[in-house]
Amino acid sequence: MADEGAGVQEAKVPERVVDGKPTLYCFETCPFCWKVRSLLSWKGVDFSKVEVDPMKKKELKWSDWSAVPVYVEADGTQVNDSNPILHWVNSNHTGGTPFPRAGEDESQDKWMDFSGDVLGKSIVAVIYSSYGDSRKALAYVSEVESFSRWQAFQAKWLGGFIMRMVGKSRAKMFELPPEENLEFQLDHLSSALAGDFMGGEVPNGADFANYGILRAMQGLRGFPIVEAHGSIGPWFQRMKSTSGV
Ligand SMILES: N[C@@H](CCC(=O)N[C@@H](CS)C(=O)NCC(=O)O)C(=O)O
């Protein structure tokens, strides 16, 4: 997707705020949404979560930006795209130590970009390695109360098929087979650690961005690769306990 439309939007959408709280429009399995969920949790922000139907996305029809996550601040400010949302939440909510803003820390910026440009694509190639794994990843839909049985059926079977196709196309972007590529990318990511976290003693934007991507794999194919990794495995556990998700 082009970046046009990413970031803070001029027009406010107070009617999209649920229960007067910051509201996150997301899919349960979306890695980009977990980036934001981990930061909100770490900061202790009380927010409403709207589960978007991954097939028809009707809960998001009001927005020109059609990908999740979309974040709506309690005052109606709409922010699109996960990295701009992380920066918005960092700058507009107290709780936790703030991390550098975009453009203030080259390394943080680089690894925040890596989370979407490389790591997100690497995990999709692994999670959706077969039709069975794809359906398993989408099985959560039958537990979403707001979805009808038909919506859940479609999301699991048609969505599972589509995501298998996406998985195949992501796999083609890398030279190594999906699981080896994931290990290779985790090795690379470990060079971002500057102590316990990428931010040093406290997590920064790169920690939340990359943790969120990997957190989306929990319970799915390839997650044991993350848990078993020599330095990313322990970092993942530190991020899990400090973020609370
Ligand atoms: N650059 C975006 C990517 C978001 C994205 O690709 N979201 C997927 C779900 S994981 C999505 O909504 N896809 C449907 C679409 O793009 O229409 C971000 O970082 O937020």
Question: Over the stretch 185-229, which tens digit does the pLDDT of each residue have?
Answer: 999 999 999 999 999 999 999 999 999 999 999 999 999 999 999
pLDDT for the residue numbered 55:
92
Residue 55's nearest CA partner among 92, 29, 33 is 29
pLDDT for res 165:
98
Nearest CA to 35 out of 198, 206, 197 is that of: 206
Ligand 1 atom with the smallest distance to the CA of 67 is 12
**Which residue out of 24, 30, 32 has the highest number of ligand 1 atoms within 8 Å of its CB and is therefore the one to mutate?**
32
Ligand 1 pocket test: which of 68, 121, 170 has the largest number of ligand atoms within 8 Å of its C-beta?
A: 68
**Domains and their CATH numbers in the chain:** 7-92 (3.40.30.10), 106-243 (1.20.1050.10)
Q: pLDDT-based confidence at 22, cuts 50/70/90? A: very high
**Contacts with 31 (C-beta within 8 Å, 6 or more apart), sequence order:** 120, 123, 124, 212, 213, 214, 215, 216, 217
Residue 3 confidence (pLDDT) = 77
Structure tokens at 158: 């048609």
Could you give the CA distance from residue 171 to residue 191 in angstroms, rounded to a whole number? 23
Residue closest via CA to ligand 1's atom 1 equals: 81
Residue with tokens 């992380």: 86
Angle (CA) 137-121-183 rounded to 5° is: 90
Q: What is the pLDDT of residue 5?
A: 96
Distance (angstroms) between ligand 1 centre and the Cα of 69 equals: 7
Given a cut of 60, whether residue 2 has pLDDT beyond it is no
Ligand 1 centroid distance, CA of 202 (Å): 28
For residue range 24-83, what is the model confidence (pLDDT) as tens digits? 999 999 999 999 999 999 999 999 999 999 999 999 999 999 999 999 999 999 999 999
Closest residue CA from atom 10 of ligand 1: 30
pLDDT at 1 over 60: no
Among the listed residues 46, 83, 29, 96, the one whose alpha carbon sits nearest the alpha carbon of residue 210? 83
7, β-bridge pairs: 80
What value does the mean pLDDT take over residues 126-150?
94
**Closest residue by CA, ligand 1 atom 6:** 67
- Nearest protein Cα to ligand 1, atom 2: 81
Distance from Cα 101 to the centre of ligand 1, integer Å: 22
- Protein residues with CB under 6 Å of any ligand 1 atom: 1, 27, 30-32, 66-69, 81-82, 116
| pLDDT (0 to 100) of residue 207 | 99
- pLDDT, mean of residues 101-121: 98
Per the DSSP assignment, residues forming a β-bridge with 79 are: 8, 71
Confidence of residue 4 (pLDDT cuts 50, 70, 90): confident
Q: What is the pLDDT of residues 83-110, one digit of tens each?
A: 999 999 999 999 999 999 999 999 999 9
Report whether 14 contacts 80 (CB < 8 A).
Answer: no
CA of 103 to the centre of ligand 1 (A): 23
- Ligand 1 midpoint to CA 66 (Å): 8
CA dist 137 and 48 (Å) reads 23
